[in-house]
Structure 1
């Protein structure tokens, strides 16, 4: 399994175009796949989890080869320079639109995982005219959420999980649970991670302090797919139920045995659900709302 994931990563990053882009007063390391190639589909703008660099989820771009992908490392994460001043969801959503402008992209399907799922929600709320559909993975409505297990949350907030491979190895099951936490594939995930700077990690945590999408979600009419794992130690399944209740045009798919990294451990199921959702025709109601 690890060899398969390694090959997928090598192929995905080989096919990616990596650039450093200065937008909104910030310099970001940006990866794009197939952008500018003929396609019947909109590009996917992807927001990553906290502290995670592009390489952590790059195989996903290879798994959907008929679509363009846009990902970037947050300030101080991966290859993006350390931030000078803090940022929040509002400023980073705006910065994302500046990046789309620079890349010549008008509208996108938006996807986010964990911390990035909150960013994806905020982007869709703040910039509805640039969002067609929304995919939310292993995420919540922000501060109003059902918390994960204390043991997992305490390890999640510790940047040593990126800096110290032995720490990550020791606590992987507590952090991520599910199938991947018990499999050899965890070593592959660990070596794909690049440590964030301490300031970058702290500012990313700070960016969502006090943030919640709860008041806005009932008024957001974007068709939304919610993917959740039933063994997620960090963002319990109940949070997906909250999102499903609040978002009018939403559906939820539960990955059985899926931990916080079900995008990797249950990749085939996830890709099938995403493809079905993204390829479905718009209903008259959703098209009007969009």
Structure 2
């Protein structure tokens, strides 16, 4: 059963959820997308092998975590997450990042090469140096309105998220609209600011962890070519392309949850097969 708690760390209160695993092993740390609270990833957690311990947290200024005292970048936030995992008693961990959280997950793998065992990157890219979405799509990312206004979220769902949302835009309310769990709007913009000038592209060749890249074949926000670039540059990466869009980790959780679980429970030295 998932345990919700608040952890006081470096003068900040952080809301954390831990689903205990039934077997020993490093936990899977989930790094969420921009503006999203930890509840958003519940469909994926439900489909993850119960043997795997799962840790989720709200970034400062988002969901149930109060605003940070100062702005942050990915490097500082990775240090913060490392301290959080120390406080929770984890020496090693696996990291999964979706969208904006994929940048944080890559930073964790880079900063903690001995602690971060395996890496999963979902619907994400390499930051400022990547193949961008269309300008009309990017403009819709500059505001947290998609989380605050359900009518607006439905109206833009097809163009912003692609995949299943093209056929069922009304479903976006159930996977991305979470008015009751929003933090202040400033937190959203601090997350945007954290990525300004950041790119993982130069560091990818030295990220040695086994890496599973998951990318939708209809993702307007993160074009599929970015996943192929990451697979080419990461020394130990495989790519799985799924038939959905940017929110596939949620809308195709029944497919991707078991896939990620198999990757994380493979014997040491084995990687996931590539499907592109």
The TM-score, its normalising length taken from structure 2, stands at: 0.92
Would you say the 8 A contact 2:35–2:62 is kept in 1?
A: yes
User: 4+ residue runs of structure 1 moved beyond 4 angstroms?
Assistant: none
Cα separation, partners in 2 of 1:284 and 1:175, compared to 1, 3 Å? closer
Choose 113-122 or 186-195, whichever is displaced more: 186-195
Give the C-alpha shift of residue 78 in structure 1: 0.5
Q: Which residue does 2:91 correspond to in 1?
A: 106
Would you say the 8 A contact 1:180–1:265 is kept in 2?
A: no
Cα shift readout 1:85-142 (whole Å, capped 9, x = no counterpart) = 1011111111111111111111011100000000000001001111000000000011
**Normalized per residue, which structure has more helix?**
1
Give the C-alpha shift of residue 181 in structure 1: 4.1
Q: Which residue does 1:249 correspond to in 2?
A: 236
Aligned 1:3-42 pairs, distance under 5 A: 15-34=1-20, 38-42=22-26
Correspondence for 1:283 among 238, 262, 269: 269
Q: Distance in 2 between matches of 1:123 and 1:180?
A: 31
Q: Which residue does 2:201 correspond to in 1?
A: 214
Correspondence for 2:158 among 173, 186, 189: 173
Specify every segment of 5 or more residues in structure 2 that has no aligned partner in the other structure, as ranges. Answer: 272-276
Q: Which residue does 1:199 correspond to in 2?
A: 186
Q: Which residue does 1:144 correspond to in 2?
A: 129
Q: Distance in 2 between matches of 1:276 and 1:31?
A: 22
Q: Distance in 2 between matches of 1:100 and 1:225?
A: 22
Give the C-alpha shift of residue 162 in structure 1: 1.4
Q: Which residue does 2:120 correspond to in 1?
A: 135
Q: Which residue does 1:11 correspond to in 2?
A: none
Specify every segment of 5 or more residues in structure 1 that has no aligned partner in the other structure, as ranges. Answer: 1-14, 286-290
How many residues of Structure 1 are paired with residues of Structure 2 in the alignment?
268
What SS is found at the alignment partner of 1:271? helix
Cα shift readout 1:205-233 (whole Å, capped 9, x = no counterpart) = 00111001111110111000000001000
Choose 246-255 or 194-203, whichever is displaced more: 194-203
Q: Which residue does 1:264 correspond to in 2?
A: 250
Cα RMSD for the two superposed structures: 1.7
Q: Which residue does 1:229 correspond to in 2?
A: 216
Aligned 1:33-72 pairs, distance under 5 A: 33-34=19-20, 38-64=22-48, 65-72=50-57
The TM-score, its normalising length taken from structure 1, stands at: 0.88
Cα separation, partners in 2 of 1:190 and 1:216, compared to 1, 3 Å? closer
Cα separation, partners in 2 of 1:180 and 1:66, compared to 1, 3 Å? farther
